[in-house]
Structure 1
Amino acid sequence: MAHYVDLLWNPEDITHLGRKDRAPGRYRAYVPDELGEELPALSRVAQAASEDAVAVLARADERIGDRGGYLNHLLIRSESISSSWIEGNSISPKKLAIAELLDHRAGSGLSTRVALDVVANVRATEEAIAELGDRERAPDVTTADIERLQHLIEPRLEPGLRTEQNWVGGPGWSPLRADFVPPPETEVRRLVDDLAGFVTATSGNPVVRAAIAHAQFETIHPFVDGNGRTGRALIHTVLRRADALRNTLIPISTVFAGDTDRYIAGLSAYREIPSRLDEWVISFAEAAELAAGNAVRLAEDIATLDGEVRENLIRFRAEQGITPASPRSDAVVVKILSALATEPVLTIERVAALHEVSAAAAHRALTQLADAGILGRTKNQKGKLICWTADRYLALVSLTERSNRVGAGDTGHGRPRRGPPVPAVRQLGALRP
């Protein structure tokens, strides 16, 4: 059964700690109950909410259909931008997209360290979901799989579960003043083993399964860093394995960015003794419905924009006397337009390789789209043209990100200079692209 354990905090190196953090004392760490392989009973209200959410997700997945291929990357990109705010860093969708294309160019002057970190997170999240979300590739989810998932997201850290106590939130660098203290390190492997078994074997409502798996993971907080991002990927994994979503990635947890207090309240309810699981499931189900609606709207906005930019191109060609005004379907400009949602930043080399055309043909097409006002020209600090950008498409990602931005601090910001290593101190903040 879930319980608290009393532990002693007595920091060895107090030289650079504040007065309040130097003091030893006792704190309480929460140890959740194991999940097993059966879903717990829910109230009729919570059960109805979860069933409604499953139906809404299915309808959204069907409406988006094949468009989910490009939409997923946009949603993960936006989610990763929001994640960077937890670290106290900010990056625009445009800078991120440029970094995705140009991170191999050391001299571009446009790919910051933050941008490259977020690029790595986007790619790792996509790979992780693809691996664990496919039951054929991963018939059983194991603790080793979850460790690898986290290491894909945080490759600079040593792989493996944490071997020290961590804590969440609080005004200083001490578990005595933390908002929440996860289970001690001695309990982590047992609990993650149980969580992996739950993800593998549990059947029933996929929204309930995802809600419980996410809350349990965030409660265990099993890694030194990357818990928030790994916990989000776990939601995608559960829904994909359950075939609740086949086309589209719906970043449910990120909806809580608009109501961080509710997210924390939901997790706190989950951790009550006895657990107020119904409250958490209802909040999660409502977030699922909102996220599904946002994904459908983004897909529709992109489809509308696709039509507008094509009309703009035809109008421009007609004004310039270019015939035919409506280009053939195999024209390079049309091929570029059809892929702008997933390829919003382009170079001559990228267009030539992507569409198997000459560099000269790629340059002519990019120049025409820029002259038509569809693409913008981006230069480096020396004024050299580096790439072309589809700013209106990037603006859609920016709008999604801004409306769901995560703003959260953690005890990492309170770390004293030259102080002891900071354990996992990720704020249990809400998460949204």
Structure 2
Amino acid sequence: MDVRIPADLIGANEAALLALGAMDAEATGQSVALARFLIRTESVASSKIERVSASVEDFARALAGNKSNTSAMSMVAATTALGTMVEAAGRAGQIAVEDILRAHRDLMRDDLTEGPYAGRLRDSQNWIGGSDHSPIGALYVPPPAEMVGELIDDLVRFANRDDIPTLAQAALAHAQFESIHPFGDGNGRIGRALIGAILRRRGVTRNTVVPVASGLLARREDYFDALTDYRDGATSPLLELILRASTVAAEAGRESIRRISAFPDEWAGRVEARRGSAAAALIPVFFDNPVMGVDEVEAVAGVRGQATYTALARLEEAGVVQEITGRKRDKVWAASDLLAELTVLDSRIAAGMRKR
């Protein structure tokens, strides 16, 4: 496909690229905590688009290995899948079918229904909307299973081209992926992960994952309508929406990067821990690993025994961490500000999408 940016969207395309570049530059040299935070933000929003939702606290518990909330566990799996695709694209400089399959395996392996098919292209017909038993009345019926392999190969060739505008490539590759609908479940989340993977492969984002899905979540119905328009041959509505979502998400993301970067110093000021103390040692540990149990804290921080509990109590009293299980044994603590920022960033993006 010969892809050009429509004349009326050239300005929006340039604004989006500038915003993405500025956000990525802001993240240069920042800690691993920031990259993990942005991946989690994008994955949570992408899950919510599919009506897979859980509270921030349940998400934190799932990060710690609590399997009581299936939606939260699914969000954690989406985080792993997104990281898999983006890192592979950056490392190899290519999008590979094997990476897409691996990401789907990460996403769906623990799903009660789809688990046996995780990481495999579908071998049966599926459809969107209508009845569970028949495609009659469906909103959309994807290609038959025997065409999926060839179509995905074609899509990957498109995603690996360097002669077309990057954001148009990401938007159209995503729309084509959703139209092929190559898996029984998880298509939306893997398809949106493809956007981040293409941005990383093309070098637009080298240090971050931009939470574009948060912008799409704020305009969920417009997003689904734009995918329908794509299937009818109109590509501009989806491209315009993704350009807007990219710009808003990048601008809001820069604010979160600045806020998060200041957390360690803020926490140290709140705790007033002397240099070299157990409490001081835990601050950078929770910045890089925001959800941990006692064993993890001791392993990462090198603090042992009663000193661990004393330090955790001090951080909890200062509001730096919160205990999220409510149990007397096998407790888990989470960095309060990092959890809150997940919601704050999502809200900031939603507000920005409403303004434009």
TM normalised by structure 2 equals 0.85
> Aligned partner of 2:34: which letter?
L
- Give the aligned partner of residue 59 of structure 1: 22
> Aligned partner of 1:349: which letter?
D
* Counterparts of 1:277 and 1:63, CA distance in 2: 31
Match among 133, 145, 166 for residue 90 of structure 2: 133
Higher-Rg structure is: 1
Specify which structure has the bigger relative contact order, considering alpha-carbon pairs within 8 angstroms and separated by 6 or more residues. Answer: 1
Aligned length: 344
1:261–1:307 distance in 2 versus 1, CA, 3 Å: same
Q: What secondary structure is seen at the aligned counterpart in 1 of 2:30?
A: helix
Deviation (angstroms), 1:89? 4.7
- Give the aligned partner of residue 398 of structure 1: 343
Q: What secondary structure is seen at the aligned counterpart in 1 of 2:54?
A: coil
Q: Is the 8 A contact 1:133 1:236 kept in 2?
A: no
Q: Is the 8 A contact 2:47 2:78 kept in 1?
A: no
Deviation (angstroms), 1:239? 0.6
- Give the aligned partner of residue 121 of structure 1: 78
Q: What secondary structure is seen at the aligned counterpart in 2 of 1:147?
A: helix
Q: Is the 8 A contact 1:125 1:233 kept in 2?
A: yes
Q: Deviations over 1:173-224 (max 9, x none)?
A: 5322222222222322221111111122333322111111111111111111
Matches within 5 A, 1:2-401: 35=1, 39-67=2-30, 69-85=32-48, 89-103=52-66, 111-135=68-92, 140-155=94-109, 156-158=115-117, 159-170=119-130, 173-272=133-232, 275-314=233-272, 327-328=274-275, 330-380=276-326, 383-384=328-329, 386-401=331-346
Deviation (angstroms), 1:384? 3.6
1:157–1:49 distance in 2 versus 1, CA, 3 Å: farther
* Counterparts of 1:81 and 1:376, CA distance in 2: 21
Percent identity for Structure 1 against Structure 2 = 30
Higher helix share: 2
- Give the aligned partner of residue 14 of structure 1: none
Deviation (angstroms), 1:50? 1.8
1:277–1:117 distance in 2 versus 1, CA, 3 Å: closer
* Counterparts of 1:44 and 1:65, CA distance in 2: 33
TM normalised by structure 1 equals 0.71
1:86–1:59 distance in 2 versus 1, CA, 3 Å: closer
* Counterparts of 1:145 and 1:349, CA distance in 2: 33
Q: Is the 8 A contact 1:77 1:122 kept in 2?
A: yes
1:197–1:360 distance in 2 versus 1, CA, 3 Å: same
Q: What secondary structure is seen at the aligned counterpart in 2 of 1:250?
A: coil
Moved more, 159-168 or 169-178: 169-178
Q: Deviations over 1:256-284 (max 9, x none)?
A: 11111221232222222xx3223322221
Unmatched 5+ stretches in structure 2: 110-114, 351-356
Q: Is the 8 A contact 2:294 2:330 kept in 1?
A: no
* Counterparts of 1:98 and 1:172, CA distance in 2: 32
Q: Is the 8 A contact 1:199 1:213 kept in 2?
A: yes
Q: Is the 8 A contact 1:162 1:224 kept in 2?
A: yes
Instruction: Please provide the CA RMSD for this pair.
Output: 2.7
Q: What secondary structure is seen at the aligned counterpart in 2 of 1:376?
A: strand
Unmatched 5+ stretches in structure 1: 1-34, 104-109, 315-325, 406-433
1:99–1:280 distance in 2 versus 1, CA, 3 Å: closer
Deviation (angstroms), 1:168? 1.3
1:45–1:221 distance in 2 versus 1, CA, 3 Å: same
* Counterparts of 1:403 and 1:62, CA distance in 2: 20
